Amino acid sequence: MSQKRISFEGKDYSHQCQLLFPLAKLDFFAVVLSSILPHAVTMNNFQMYRHIMSPGWTLGWNWPKKEFKGNVPHCCKKDPVLVDLLPGVPYNQQFSNCCKGGVLASWGEDPSESVSSFQLSVGLAGTSNKTVKLLKNFSLLGPGPGYTCGPSKIVQSTVFLTADHRRKTRALMTWNVTCTYSQFLSSKYPSCCVSFSTFYNDTITPCPSCACGCHHKHNCMTDSEKLKRKGINTPKKDNEPLLQCTHHMCPIRVHWHVKINYKDYWRVEIAITNFNYRLNHTQWTLVAQHPNLNNVTQVFCFNHKPLVPYQSINDTGMFYGMKFYNDLLMQAGPSENVQSEVLMQKDKNTLMLKPGWGFPRRVYSNGDECKLPPPDSYPILPNC
């Protein structure tokens, strides 16, 4: 993995400690801490289709000794918890790639927006690689639970440019920490479901009942007047949703509609609906697995990028919003959905017109796998 290079202005860091931790779920995050006095932390989200949305990431660890953390809040705590600054902070408080409110795009969506940095000062940390101790017990919320961090490991020191960009200097120490994400640790239930419909059958296959659990059924919104009002976006760190009452009780529903079947092409309409009144989804992503996604001809209102886990297989594609147009999936209310159409050329080697031919095998929303209807409930062809 390539290491992020960081330069600092106005100071000599010829003797410094740089800490690097990749935080990973298949694809990786990387966090870089550097220097004994100023510690610069840089996080890179290398996950292809899982982003960190508002209210943003929270990073924590334990100091091994009696380090002093300068003028940041809770600077004397042995187990600090840090969050990102919001956009628009004074210039003298900014750092490169800082101040994004903790929001990180996925690597597959926008690598330039998948990085975040901040800086803090540390004293009494030691002045050599023998006196500097590794940080312990890393934790990451993104923004909810699901990440598990391993121990830090010393690796080759990072080389970076000085502030004047005229010479290179090497960090005193560099170490890595790997964190893995598990959907099962994040939530006991799925966070999204999928429904199907077609042009050749009047039957609509809905999301399964209680697909995302019915534990919020007694705290959902049913008042018709409230349903007509714009949703209240008040995200919380515990990610507790305020859902619209539905039979599936999922925050997100993906609807896949087989719209038209041409001789050499076929067209699908995809709609993503947010049923959570408490949260909108910044830089949302949708991943679908279907054999014919290897022949996508045109996507009308979404961006599309093929995901190729194996060179011989190209059946998975990622869809995400167009910047400043529909990259924000609003909370439940009048503007609660985004939609697009996808035109695909038929591939006779992979596409067979049999029951279920037009529907995806797997669907992921914002990195989490969605609950599909049972196969025997799919709309079938008239002659089947």
Same structural domain, 236 and 294? yes
Same structural domain, 103 and 242? no
Q: Is 10 part of any domain?
A: no
Same structural domain, 245 and 160? no
Residue 356 has pLDDT above 90, yes or no: no
Same structural domain, 212 and 340? yes
Q: Is 308 part of any domain?
A: yes
Residue 23 has pLDDT above 70, yes or no: no
Same structural domain, 141 and 255? no
Same structural domain, 192 and 314? yes
**For residue 28, what pLDDT is reported?**
27
Same structural domain, 125 and 265? no
Spatial distance between the Cα atoms of 169 and 159, rounded to a whole number of angstroms: 6
Q: Is 2 part of any domain?
A: no
- Cα–Cα distances in Å, from 329 out to 41, 294, 335, 339? 29, 27, 8, 10
**For residue 277, what pLDDT is reported?**
86
Spatial distance between the Cα atoms of 1 and 28, rounded to a whole number of angstroms: 9
Q: Is 3 part of any domain?
A: no
Instruction: Give the residue with greater pLDDT, 197 vs 200.
Output: 197
Here the tokens at position 236 are 């919380």
Q: The CATH number of the domain where 258 resides is what?
A: 2.60.40.290
Question: How many structural domains is the chain composed of?
Answer: 2
Same structural domain, 229 and 135? no
Same structural domain, 354 and 365? yes
Boundary (domain end) residue, out of 160, 184, 208: 184
Same structural domain, 131 and 223? no
**For residue 71, what pLDDT is reported?**
61
**For residue 32, what pLDDT is reported?**
47
Boundary (domain end) residue, out of 138, 167, 184: 184
Instruction: Give the residue with greater pLDDT, 21 vs 89.
Output: 89
Q: Is 256 part of any domain?
A: yes
Boundary (domain end) residue, out of 148, 166, 184: 184
Name the residue range of residue 271's domain.
Answer: 187-377
Q: Is 94 part of any domain?
A: yes
C-beta of residue 113 within 8 angstroms of C-beta of residue 105: yes
Nearest to 319 by CA among 259, 274, 371, 254: 254
Q: Is 4 part of any domain?
A: no
Distance of alpha carbon 71 from the chain centroid: 31
Q: Is 88 part of any domain?
A: yes
Spatial distance between the Cα atoms of 291 and 264, rounded to a whole number of angstroms: 15
**For residue 238, what pLDDT is reported?**
54
